[in-house]
Structure formats: C-alpha cells, structure tokens
Amino acid sequence: AQSVAQPEDQVNVAEGNPLTVKCTYSVSGNPYLFWYVQYPNRGLQFLLKYITGDNLVKGSYGFEAEFNKSQTSFHLKKPSALVSDSALYFCAVRVPVNRDDKIIFGKGTRLHILP
C-alpha cells in the first residue's frame, strides 16, 4: 500500500538557519512526490513536485526538495528560514497507475521559525 511518513510532528528552527522537513515514502512503481504548505485557516498550497529528472527540485518561496530513490526520501529544505515560513507542511505521493489515482498525504509537520 502507498504510504507517506513524516517522522517529525514539529520542527523548530531559528530564523536565518537552514531548515529540513523530512519525508519518506513507500510505493510500488515510480512515485510522483509533492510538498504542500498550509497556513492557519487556509487551503493547501502547492510548493513543489518531483516527477522525473534532476533529483533536486526547486519550488516556491525559496524551498527545494531532494529526491533520493535509494533512501525513498523527499526531504524539504530551505537554506535560510524566515518567520513567515511557519506553517504546516504536508508531503504527498501519487502513483499514476490508472485512472483512479489520488494523492496520499503524510501526517504533516508543523514548522516553527523562531525570531
């Protein structure tokens, strides 16, 4: 069964420091991987995706993620955190094996950027 794991419920980072939000996945076949961000009382916003090609994917707001097939990971990173990055981050996987594919979300990681 497809699954996504975000091992950290919460990550605290000082402003200006690099941040990493971890994600590992378990799927059969070649995954499509996504990161979404959710601000309080807001919808899910698309950050970036990996479909194929370069393992380092760059997305919105200076975020990037690295696809590591051997470790089945897709960690979200940013070189220098901003207080405004504080939000809930969801990793997601989609395996397009048929017409009925859908996105499966991880449990989410709450990112706190400390001023």
Partner 1 sequence: AAGVIQSPRHLIKEKRETATLKCYPIPRHDTVYWYQQGPGQDPQFLISFYEKMQSDKGSIPDRFSAQQFSDYHSELNMSSLELGDSALYFCASSPDGRNYGYTFGSGTRLTVV
* Residue 45 within binding range of partner 1, rule CB under 8 A: yes
* Residue 100 within binding range of partner 1, rule CB under 8 A: yes
Distance CA 37, CA 78 (A): 14
Minimum CB distance to partner 1 smaller for 84 or for 101: 101
Cα–Cα distance list, 44 to 8, 39, 53 (Å):
19, 8, 25
* Residue 82 within binding range of partner 1, rule CB under 8 A: no
Number of residues forming the site for partner 1 (CB under 8 A): 25
* Residue 32 within binding range of partner 1, rule CB under 8 A: yes
**Using the rule CB under 8 A, which residue among 13, 27, 36, 65 binds partner 1?**
36
* Residue 105 within binding range of partner 1, rule CB under 8 A: yes
36 strand-pairing partners? 46, 90
Q: Two tokens at 6?
A: 């975000």
Provide the binding-site residues for partner 1, judged by CB under 8 A.
32, 34, 36, 41-46, 49, 51, 90, 92, 94, 96, 99-108
